[in-house]
Amino acid sequence: MTVFKPNRREMMKLAAMAPAFALPALGVAAPARAQLGAPASANPTHFRFTLGQARLTILSDGYFSLPTAGLGVNADPADVRAFLERHYLSPDEGYSHTNHLLIEAGDAVVLVDVGSGSRFMPTTGRLMANMEAAGIDPASVTHVVITHAHPDHIWGIRDDFDEPLFPDAEYVIGAAEHAYWLQDDLVNKVKPEDQQFVLGAVNSLTLDGVDWRLVADGEEIVPGLRMIATPGHTPGHMSVVLESEGQQLMALGDAMSHAYTNFAHPDWFNGFDADGPQTVATRMRLLDMAATDRIAVLGYHFPFPGVGHVLREGESWRFLPALWQFEG
C-alpha cells in the first residue's frame, strides 16, 4: 500500500490551499442569554468513579466551539435553532467538551482517544496536563484505543518533537478506519475542506514508533473491554464497551456527539458525519441497546464529564446525566 506521508512543508502548503477548515470565526457570537456565565476560577478537569471492579477517570482535553449550522443538517434550520433555544443552548455557537475515558482494570490501563495535541485548536490539547493533574503517569498506559481518526481524537498522538506520547502502549483502532484513511490518494478524492483532516489522519496513523493493532467488530482488547463497530460518523468508527461485575459502560466516541439533539431527534445528522443515514442507523441501534440493557454511556462531546443513561420516551430518547456521588 502506498502511503501518502506529506512532510511539514507540504502540509503547510496544502493547508494554505485549503483554508476551508479554517476555524470558523470563533468568539464572535455574543454569549447566549440562557447560558451560564464564564467560570470564576478553574474548574475540575478530571472526574473519577467506578464500574464494578474497574476504576474510571474522565479526563478533559479542553473544549471547542463550532457554529451550530453544522447540527442537524438534514433538518429545517429554523427547527434546529428553535430546539437549541428551547434547551437553553446558543442557537449560533456550539460548545463541545472532550471527555476521555481512562480505564484501570486488572493490570491494564486503557486510554480512549488521545485528543487534539498542540496543532488543532488553542482551546484543546490539554489532555496530558490534565492527566498529570489527576496523578496519572503516562508511562503507565498499557493500551491506547482510538475511536476514529478525526483531529480532536487522534492528532494528540504525538508530542511537539513528533514522538508518540505513550511509547510503551499498544495502539488499537478499527481495521476499517485504518484502511479508510490510508487508502491510496484519499487526499485527492475528498472535498478541499476535508483535506486537512485526511493529512492529519495519515500523519497520525503513520507516526514512527506506533504499531497498530487493527480490530474487528466485537473484538476484546483486554478482559471485559471490547470494541464494537459504530460506523457513520466516519467509515470505520468504533465504540468501546466495558463490562465489570455485570455493569456496563459504553464510550460512544462520536457515534453520538450532542447530548440533546442526538437523543430528541436521533434522525438529525451533522455536517461532520461522513454518512448521515448510516450515522442515524448506528445511533438508533446504540440508543436501543443502551436503554434496553441499561448500559451507561459516555459522550466524548457531551457536557463534562459526559456520563449518563438513556431513557426511552416513545419515539425519541433523553440523556440522563449520572447522579454523581461524593467520596464517602
In the complex, which residues of this chain contact Zn ion (CB under 5 A)? 152, 254
How do 247-251 and 296-298 pair as beta strands? parallel
Give the SS3 label for residue 221: strand
- Closest approach, Cβ 233 to Zn ion, in A, equals 8
Q: How many other C-beta atoms lie within 10 A of the C-beta of residue 1?
A: 6
Smallest gap from Cβ 96 to Zn ion, in A, equals 7
| Residues whose CB falls within 8 Å of the CB of residue 223, separated by 6 or more in sequence, listed in order | 105, 106, 108
Q: Is the dihedral of CA 86, 298, 112, 128 positive or negative?
A: positive
What gap in Å lies between CA 274 and CA 170, rounded to an integer? Answer: 27
Among residues 105 and 202, whose Cβ is nearest to Zn ion? 202
Give 151 or 266: the residue with its C-beta nearer to Zn ion. 151
Question: Using an 8 Å Cβ cutoff, are 300 and 147 in contact?
Answer: yes
Closest approach of Cβ 41 to Zn ion, in Å?
A: 27
Nearer to Zn ion, 116 or 203 (CB): 116
Residue 299 or 308 with smaller CB distance to Zn ion: 299
| Minimum gap (Å) between residue 322 Cβ and Zn ion | 21
Distance CA 117, CA 89 (A): 28
Name which of 243 and 254 has its Cβ closer to Zn ion. 254
Whole-number Å distance between alpha carbons of 168 and 65:
33
b/e burial code for range 273-304 (CB count within 10 A of at least 16 → b): bbbbebbbebbeebbebbbeeebbbbbbbbeb
Q: CB of residue 303 vs Zn ion: minimum separation in angstroms?
A: 14
224 versus 233: smaller Cβ distance to Zn ion: 233
Least gap, CB of 113 to Zn ion (angstroms):
8
